[in-house]
Chain A
């Protein structure tokens, strides 16, 4: 079975500052990794995904994440945030090549202050 831990439930940052949202996972098999974003009163939208290949993946809205197999981490980063990035962010995993079930972390609420 897979599990995901998002290490911060809330992250407040100032506008134009860099941000890192941390995600660690546990799995005995190979996994695919995802970050989803949920804007207020909306559904989830895929930000980026890691399936294989380069460990640095780039997504929408200037976000990127790095897959670190030895540390079982998939941290999300953005060099300069905007007010519009205020949202809840979810890290998720699924077994590679297997069922499409996603296992989600608890979520991190990112608040951007002017």
Chain B
């Protein structure tokens, strides 16, 4: 089954404790992206990747890092999480140039 998976689905952590949210797709997609969803703000892009070893900032990249060492994986790294990063995070992927993006199930992160 074609899908985008994220782990963990839920995470509660404390300020300053480094964490990684994994994202994996099995559709051989070139393009991958991370969004955060906050009430009243919709989804905002954090980082995206056009292919392996090619990443770039989205609209709200501060406090986040990403890497793309393999085509299928696009982890989101929070080196020193803060409470304002409490949010619902979505990973998405698509074929290069395609119009439909496929979204993962989301990761709800709470930073206390």
Q: How far is it, in angstroms, between the C-alpha of A9 and the C-alpha of B42 when the chains are bound?
A: 10
Decide if A43 touches B103 in the complex (CB within 8 Å): yes
A72 sits at the interface (CB 8 A): no
Q: Which of A9, A32, A46, A102 contacts B40 (CB 8 A)?
A: A9
Per DSSP, chain A at the interface is: strand
Decide if B42 touches A107 in the complex (CB within 8 Å): yes
The A80-110 residues at the B interface (CB cut-off 8 A) are 90, 92, 94, 100-102, 104-107
Question: Which bracket fits the contact residues of B?
Answer: 20 to 34
User: What residues of B have a CB within 8 angstroms of the CB of A45 in the complex?
Assistant: 103
Decide if A44 touches B44 in the complex (CB within 8 Å): no
Can you report 7 A-B residue pairs in the complex whose CB atoms are below 8 A from each other?
A41-B105, A90-B42, A100-B48, A100-B96, A100-B98, A102-B45, A107-B40
The 7 closest A-B pairs by CB, nearest first: A43-B103, A104-B42, A44-B103, A104-B43, A106-B42, A43-B105, A107-B42
Interface set of B (CB-CB < 8 Å, partner A): 4, 31, 33, 35, 40-45, 48, 58, 90, 92, 94, 96-101, 103-106
